[in-house]
Amino acid sequence: MEKIAYIALGSNMGDRELNLLRAIAEIGKLPTCRVTGLSPFYETSPVGFTDQSPFYNAVLRLSTGLSPHELLYHLQQIESSVFRRVRSAPDGPRTMDLDLLLYGEEVVDTPDLIVPHPRMAERRFVLEPLCVLAPGLKHPRLEKTIVELLAGLKSDETVTEI
């Protein structure tokens, strides 16, 4: 049975726009997966470790027959195999970051995967593009829509549509 998943994409190294486009193509090639929606691209200020280049971010909607853990595995394979990502510094620079934000209405809480993504409601660079795709979508834990989460967000992040 297919589920709808939302995936955040981010890049601040190399050709950021090309990196996002390449990641979208790679995700679209996953077994039993089909990209069904894509937000605009945004240039965003870094969060956490701020002494780095701005990011390009987007969110895509994916119809998938993969389980949440299988999907996470494939996303991490794309990060490491295609983009040569090495996880060295949390919130540090990266050619590609792929985060599984939501997987249907499911709540997953295991040592290697938490869905909904635990910090998505605190990040304008996630909520702005997600709001374009699914403003009325409810966060399974917080019981608020994406548009409500965005309206209540206290953040000094800059997020500019490209």
Quickly count: other Cβ atoms within 10 Å of residue 91's Cβ.
Answer: 12
Q: Using the 8-state DSSP alphabet, how is residue 95 labeled? A: S
Cβ neighbours of residue 110 closer than 8 Å, sequence gap 6 or more: 69
Q: What predicted TM-score, i.e. pTM, was given to this entire model?
A: 0.95
The residues that are catalytic are 84, 94, 97, 99
Structure confidence at residue 139 as a pLDDT band (50, 70, 90): very high
Average pLDDT value for residue range 97-114 = 97
Structure confidence at residue 50 (pLDDT)? 75
Average pLDDT value for residue range 8-37 = 97
Taken as a whole, the chain contains a residue count of: 162
Given a cut of 90, is residue 151 above it in pLDDT?
yes
Across the strands, what pairs with 95? none
Structure confidence at residue 87 (pLDDT)? 67
Collapsed DSSP state (helix, strand, coil) of residue 77: helix
Each residue's pLDDT tens digit, 37-88? 999 999 999 988 778 899 999 999 999 999 999 999 999 999 999 998 766 6
Amino acid (1-letter code) at residue 56: Y
Structure confidence at residue 84 (pLDDT)? 85
Given a cut of 90, is residue 156 above it in pLDDT?
no
